[in-house]
Structure 1
């Protein structure tokens, strides 16, 4: 089994002290000390001017809203509101009632590509029917749900141009502790709570104590013992996404972050980081998670390397 090692062979105690002294200067230089900063705030140049809602928009009449939150149109096609996560897995999603209220039996404007997933659904950006006007800069239905705290923003190809506005709406719900945010984010130190959400998209918050590295994977370690504690796994796709923003996984060591993704078990709870947009820098201890808090030993920690 591959062993996680740090990037330098030096005494880990010395490395930790050096990183602690240098990190604030390095992070300030690359703009990561802004409270609540999101790595998505600095997308690759190609996406800067992309509209959220591409025009022209298609139109369709919503015949039904499924328990999964998918919209069934009169012509039998099925739209999956792109970029939403959280709020249920294998059950009725938390935003279904809001969708029924807003769009059931009504005509909607949307943008969806021709590709269908294995369930026959097309991922769609949907104009907010409650908005005064529909335009490429206008609000989406997804943004409205995020503002109410009924869903979480899930980074995916179709929604990257929308993410800045969506994350701002989500932040409003978080500040007001609306709906899902009464329990979120989950504390990285609360292993029992994380395991209860296995297989679900959620948000985990805590300090990244250090960053381990193997030939293929960088490990964002939230705890002392990687075989039982929370870990973010950054493989080639995630490494490339961070590099596109001038970052490396090692730059995140010592930071308080919110990490979004689907939890799975890998000798401890884990989330695979495929996009920089999955990582939000929380900024300060005042925004630490509730229910388990910061007791993952962020201060004065000496982490063994390799097998434990």
Structure 2
């Protein structure tokens, strides 16, 4: 893959402008759901047949849910209330676009809530209200372009979580600040100083001192997804990007990239 190939594909696969907003979710496998009888939090519901449904593609502010010494994330009760107002005691359909069950035996699905003759896509509703952000997985990548575009609009308007510093987009060149967010899911923006392949990994370095500065690491399994999408992460060198994922501390702050949608290209120059 040559550098120009990547640049020509960036807007399609990395940048989420709502280019396919009208049809993005037509690819889902739609199935009957049932009635929502409980809203656990802003991204999980319980159906009348006992199934727990995790709204795949989103992450709402977290509640303790029985976990000791767990700090409630800002706006978690509000997020739960918004989802309850949308879905509680209403009939839903479920749309599947990848892995259908997680290790906690939760159903992983997009949820569509019946409202008269219309349906409301729960994930899109929560993100548009600023009550959730996009949170994706390598085995569930459908419809993300629409959700990312909606998130960008909500963030620009400072709706919901986007008005709270807890959810601020972090600067890639503030390594010390990012280290304080180790263990947290973050959005990080900056310019890739060096994109380098070492063995089976690609490293996106955002500073000159790779043992101290922020780095995004793309492992071999993720690189296979990039290759399948005809994307070359080495072409990101010099690009202004937004990375999303869990921050850890290994030779400075870093985020592991497991699939292409964790990277949004904001500018190639």
Picking from 263, 266, 288, the partner of 2:247 is: 263
- 1:17-58 Cα distance to aligned partner (Å, 9 max, x none): xxxxxxxx9558832686xx652669xxxxx98724433x31
Match of residue 127, structure 2, among 119, 130, 146: 146
Instruction: Name 2:208's counterpart in structure 1.
Output: 224
Superposed CA deviations along residues 245-267 of structure 1, whole A, max 9, x for unmatched, are 32322100111000111212212
Cα distance in structure 1, aligned partners of 2:27 and 2:127: 15
Distance, in Å, in 2 between the alignment partners of 1:131 and 1:272 is 43
The C-alpha deviation readout for 1:210-235, integer Å capped at 9, x for no partner, is 02332121110111211121110011
Aligned pair partner of 1:64 in 38, 41, 54: 38
1:88 deviates by 3.6
Aligned to 1:160, the other structure's residue is in SS state coil
Match of 1:73 among 33, 47, 53: 47
Which stretch shifts more, 157-166 or 144-153? 157-166
Query: Post-superposition, which runs of at least 4 consecutive aligned residues in structure 1 deviate over 6 A?
Result: none
Q: Which of 142, 162, 166 is the equivalent residue of 1:161?
A: 142
Unaligned runs of 5+ in 1: 1-24, 43-47, 286-308
Change (3 A) 1:189 1:266: same
Mean alpha-carbon deviation: is it higher for 269-278 or for 236-245? 236-245
Q: CA deviation at 1:282?
A: 1.2
In 2: Cα distance, 1:29 partner to 1:262 partner: 25
Aligned to 1:39: 14
Residue 98 of structure 2 is aligned to residue 125 of structure 1: no
Instruction: Return the alpha-carbon distance in structure 1 between the equivalents of residues 100 and 229 of structure 2.
Output: 29
**Gap change, CA 1:72 and 1:147, over 3 Å in 2:** same
Count of residue pairs brought into register by the alignment: 249
Q: Does 1:87 align with 2:51?
A: no
In the TM superposition, what is the alpha-carbon distance from 1:202 to its structure 2 partner? 2.3
**How far apart, in 2, do the equivalents of 1:229 and 1:256 lie?**
16
The equivalent of 1:292 in structure 2 is none
Counterparts of 1:49-60 in structure 2, within 5 Å, are 51-55=26-30, 57-60=31-34
**1:75-134 deviation line (CA, Å, top 9, x unaligned):** 221111111126348546463221111112222222358953232211111014458534
Change (3 A) 1:258 1:132: farther
Q: 1:30 maps to what in 2?
A: 7
Task: Tell me which residue corresponds to 1:209.
Answer: 193
SS at match of 1:223: coil
Return closer, same or farther for 1:273/1:116 CA change in 2, 3 Å cut-off: same
What is the deviation of 1:158? 6.3
Asked if the contact 2:6–2:231 (Cα under 8 Å) also holds between the matched residues in 1, the reply is no
CA distance in 1, matches of 2:128, 2:42: 20
Q: Is the 8 A contact 2:175 2:213 kept in 1?
A: yes
TM-score relative to the length of structure 2: 0.79
Deviates further, 104-113 or 180-189: 104-113
Alignment equivalent of 2:236, drawn from 246, 249, 252: 252
RMSD (Å) for aligned C-alpha atoms: 3.2
Task: Output the TM-score relative to the length of structure 1.
Answer: 0.70
Structure showing greater radius of gyration is 1
1:101 aligns with 2:91: no
